[in-house]
Structure 1
Amino acid sequence: MAYPDDLLGEGEHVLLHRHPHWKTLCGPLAALVLLVGAGGWLAVAAAPGSWWFPLPWVVLGLGGVLLLWLVLAPLLRWATTHFVVTSHRLMIREGVLTRSGVHIPVARINSVQSRRSLLDRILGSGTLIVESASDEPLEFEDVPGIDRFQSLLHGAVDDESHGERFGG
């Protein structure tokens, strides 16, 4: 999915656009499998003619709420979170109902670091740490292709410090 061009400035273009790493969807997938399995087992256990007739409806309602909370909400959160490097800035936007975002001009980025656990190193993801003119460094977790993000941003910072326009 391309990043909307109407959010870009004059002469700005997207260099890299990613959603959070797919590993963030493993929990919701496990929850889906468990909920379907438990729901199926409870549906068979509370078969029609059982001692308590409303039990299947209670199971169905509870299962629906848990599906929304444990599966659909994280999936929507993943789909609406964007890590974007453009020719002029780093943008992180997220939110389902309420959108929020961080936009850091390349010229204001002082340093770019990453932190990766063993699993992150195997999967190629990690935490991106960006130090800019703001007070505290900003940390963005579960960034896929962390090496590509870091090299693009390092190149942007180097090009800006030498007075060149990055990527354009």
Structure 2
Amino acid sequence: MRHSERYGPGVPAELDRYLIPSENIVFMFRRHWIILFEPAASAIFGLVMLAWLTSLTSGLFVTIAAGAWLILLARLGLHLWWWWDELIIATNRRLMRVHGIITRQVDIMPMSKVTDMRYDRTVPGQILGYGRFVVESAGQDQALSSINYIPDSDLHYQQISQIIFAPSDAKITQKTKAPGTRVPITEPDQAGFRAGK
């Protein structure tokens, strides 16, 4: 897999087509491996059943069972491909989901539209280390309103919260300008200071 010329190793070259030069990647991940558990367990269980049937009998019944197991194996391969092909990216400007095997799709939610976010962790999620973000945004329902099976979810929650909810410089520093000067002057907040005390 080719790497991004702009962002370096670990970032697929495909993202150079979707990200603008002023964007910085905050995090990028594939969903937690737990989404592959059921297809993998089904394929393993099918193999065990096939081995058991082969030890008991032979003929057409075993051939049908072998065909069924190949279908389970192909299903596992397809899920593995979907998992590897999907990327969730957060930049300093937007949240993105890149997915799709035949038709490549890019779902986008600007960070400026996010009004609130909920962070859920079920009991299995707490044990295995994954979580779910439920994002509320201004306007209509967005494609990225819910993102499930997030690995290292505590870390990613802190990272995305810093982008969404960190106050801007304009809110932190309320400055006024003295007449005839371009140097900003911070107005003191304490009444005692203004009174000359």
Q: TM-score range by the shorter chain?
A: 0.7 to 0.9
Residue ranges of structure 2 left out of the alignment (5+ in a row): 1-9, 172-197
1:155 aligns with 2:166: no
* 1:162–1:132 CA distance, 2 compared to 1 (3 A): farther
- 1:161: Cα distance to partner? 4.3
Q: Distance in 2 between matches of 1:19 and 1:98?
A: 19
Query: Secondary structure of the residue that 1:10 maps to in structure 2?
Result: coil
| TM-score, structure 2 as length reference | 0.69
Residue ranges of structure 1 left out of the alignment (5+ in a row): 48-52
Partner of 2:34: 23
Larger radius of gyration: 2
1:103 aligns with 2:112: no
Q: Distance in 2 between matches of 1:144 and 1:93?
A: 17
Larger mean CA deviation between 126-135 and 153-162 belongs to 153-162
Larger RCO, structures 1/2 (Cα 8 Å, 6+ apart): 1
Supply the RMSD in Å over aligned alpha carbons.
2.4
* 1:15–1:118 CA distance, 2 compared to 1 (3 A): same
Alignment equivalent of 1:63, drawn from 69, 76, 89: 69
- 1:135: Cα distance to partner? 2.8
Q: C-alpha offsets along residues 109-150 of structure 1, whole Å, 9 cap, x if unaligned?
A: 222221111221222311101112233471111111222222
Matched-pair identity in %? 22
* 1:134–1:123 CA distance, 2 compared to 1 (3 A): farther
- 1:160: Cα distance to partner? 6.9
